[in-house]
Each structure stands twice: as structure tokens, then as C-alpha cells.
């Protein structure tokens, strides 16, 4: 059965809009877990635009499923991860100007740095995932740098329409198969919602889906409990 990791960054986005204390992502994580989330994901961005260091520290002791810390492959972030020791770290590319993560990591280009960082994270007992485009060269490079997981970037599939969408789905399918053949475990995420996830679920072979924006958006209208339950039902039923 596939798992659902709920990304609660945008609960913090709402809090930061007023710079106050509500809504608290720590409370959101507990509600999400009670509603069937299998894991909690947060992205501690270098600019701290949503999740704060305080959130990560508290979540470390309150999350009862598993904590997946998304972060840039920088010395500052690796040092934080070594202090927090989440179950998973997902390394992502990060640009200050972007609205959200754009594109996957260029693992091939940064293989020396990533090899060193993955080794350090492994020594701290942290399982590592690399956020990559569904591209064979990046998958091979991910295996070479000894990542445990890849997370396939589903953004291009989610944004495409018509024939292009079918082509993007085929790339995801090929990447799932290739990743597993290379001995990597495979997660997927970015841009997935209650409709576009169905064809991806039908492919099989994905351990965990990391989903944030669509769940928090639905939660604004129907409540977080229901929004998580509805996505968990889809993912668990696949």
C-alpha cells in the first residue's frame, strides 16, 4: 500500500502572512496524523518564508509517524538536519525568487557534494531522498551517490495538458521502473491533487506521495481532517 506524506508548509504560510502564532503547523501535523497521514513533510527554506526552525524542532518531538525534512543541499541545512535527526531528509534545489520548488536536483552535476552530504546524513541515521525530474541520467546519478530514495518530480505532468500530459505520465512510469531497477526506492510529489493523482496511483511502484498545496487548499473549505482523509483514501486505495 502506498503511503501519504502530508506537507504542512502552507499552514505556516498562512501564519507568516500575519507573523503571529496561528495557525500552528504543529497542531496541523497532529490533525493530519489522526486523519490518516503516514508521514509529515516540512520544507525549511533558506529564506524561512513559511516553516521556521522552531517548527522543525517541536515537530521532531511531536510527530508520531515519520518526519521528512525537505531542504537545500547546503552546509547550514545539513547541520540543522544532523541536530534534528528526522527520519528522512529530502534534498531539493532551491532558488530565492521561486514561488515553489522548480525542477529537480541536478544530481549528476553536484555528485561530489551530494555524496559527502549523503554520507554525513547516513552516519546520523537519516534516510535520504533526492528530488529529481523523471530523467534516467538523474536516476543513475542518484544511485551512484548512494541515495536511498528518489522523489520523482511530478510537476511537469501536473501542469501539462492533452497529449503532453500523457507523455509526461509515461516519463513518470519509466522513471519508477528505472529507479526501482537501480535499487532505489521511489517517492513522488509536487502539484498532485485529488484528480491528477489517479493516473499516477494506477502506475504502482511508488512508496510515498508527498502532497501539500492541494490538501491545505481543500482544508480551507472543508477542514483539514476531511481533506487529509479524502487524499489518504485515494492513496491507500491504490
Nearer to ligand PXP (CB atom), residue 92 or residue 200 = 92
Q: Which candidate, 35, 101, 47, places its Cα nearest to that of 70?
A: 101
Q: Which candidate, 131, 78, 127, 143, places its Cα nearest to that of 105?
A: 131
Least Å distance, CB 193 to ligand PXP, is 8
Contact stretch for ligand PXP (CB under 6 A) within 15-23, 114-122, 136-144, 190-198: 190-198
29-58 residues in contact with ligand PXP (CB under 6 A) are 43
Count the neighbouring beta carbons within 10 Å of the beta carbon of residue 14. Answer: 16
CB 77 within 8 A of CB 50: no
110-129 residues in contact with ligand PXP (CB under 6 A) are none
Site string for ligand PXP, 71-100 (x = CB under 6 A): -------------------x-x-------x
Residue recorded with cell 481533506: 227
Nearer to ligand PXP (CB atom), residue 65 or residue 214 = 214
Least Å distance, CB 211 to ligand PXP, is 4
The DSSP code for 182 is: T
What gap in Å lies between CA 55 and CA 61, rounded to an integer? 10
Contact stretch for ligand PXP (CB under 6 A) within 113-121, 138-146, 188-196, 227-235: 188-196
Site string for ligand PXP, 146-185 (x = CB under 6 A): -----x----------------------------------
Is residue 109 packed enough to be buried (19+ CB in 10 Å), middle (13-18) or exposed (0-12)? exposed
Q: Active site residue: 10, 33, 50, 70, which one?
A: 70
Annotation says 66 is catalytic: no
Is residue 93 packed enough to be buried (19+ CB in 10 Å), middle (13-18) or exposed (0-12)? middle
**Interacting residues of 78 by C-beta distance below 8 A, sequence separation 6+:** 71, 117, 120, 121
Annotation says 22 is catalytic: no
The DSSP code for 104 is: -
Does 191 help bind ligand PXP (rule: CB under 6 A)? yes
208-237 residues in contact with ligand PXP (CB under 6 A) are 210-214
Q: What angle do CA 96, 100, 105 make, to 5 degrees?
A: 80
Nearer to ligand PXP (CB atom), residue 30 or residue 196 = 196
Contacting residues toward ligand PXP, per CB under 6 A: 7, 9, 43, 70, 90, 92, 100-101, 131, 151, 189-192, 210-214
**Residues identified as active-site:** 43, 70, 190
Amino acid at each position: 500500500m502506498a503511503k501519504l506524506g502530508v506537507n504542512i508548509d502552507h499552514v505556516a504560510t498562512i501564519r507568516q502572512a500575519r507573523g503571529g502564532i496561528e495557525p500552528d503547523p504543529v497542531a496541523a501535523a497532529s490533525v493530519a496524523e489522526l486523519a490518516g497521514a503516514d508521514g509529515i513533510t516540512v520544507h525549511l527554506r533558506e529564506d524561512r518564508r513559511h516553516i521556521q526552525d522552531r517548527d522543525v524542532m517541536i515537530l521532531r518531538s511531536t510527530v508520531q509517524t515519520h518526519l521528512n525534512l525537505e531542504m537545500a543541499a547546503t552546509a547550514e541545512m545539513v547541520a540543522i538536519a544532523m541536530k534534528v535527526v528526522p527520519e528522512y531528509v529530502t534534498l531539493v534545489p532551491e532558488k530565492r525568487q521561486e514561488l515553489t520548488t522548480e525542477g529537480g536536483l541536478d544530481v549528476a552535476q553536484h555528485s561530489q557534494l551530494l555524496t559527502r552530504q549523503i554520507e554525513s546524513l547516513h552516519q546520523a541515521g537519516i534516510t535520504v531522498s533526492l528530488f529529481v525530474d523523471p530523467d534516467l541520467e538523474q536516476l543513475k546519478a542518484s544511485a551512484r551517490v548512494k541515495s536511498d530514495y528518489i522523489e520523482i518530480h511530478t510537476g511537469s505532468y501536473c501542469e501539462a495538458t492533452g497529449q503532453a500530459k500523457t507523455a509526461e505520465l509515461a516519463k513518470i512510469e519509466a522513471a519508477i521502473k528505472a529507479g526501482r531497477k537501480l535499487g532505489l526506492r521511489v517517492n513522488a510529489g509536487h502539484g498532485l491533487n485529488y484528480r491528477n493523482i489517479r493516473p499516477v496511483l494506477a502506475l504502482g511502484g511508488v512508496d510515498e506521495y508527498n502532497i501539500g498545496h492541494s490538501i491545505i487548499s481543500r482544508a480551507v473549505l472543508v477542514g483539514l481532517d476531511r481533506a487529509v482523509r479524502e487524499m489518504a483514501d485515494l492513496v491507500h486505495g491504490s
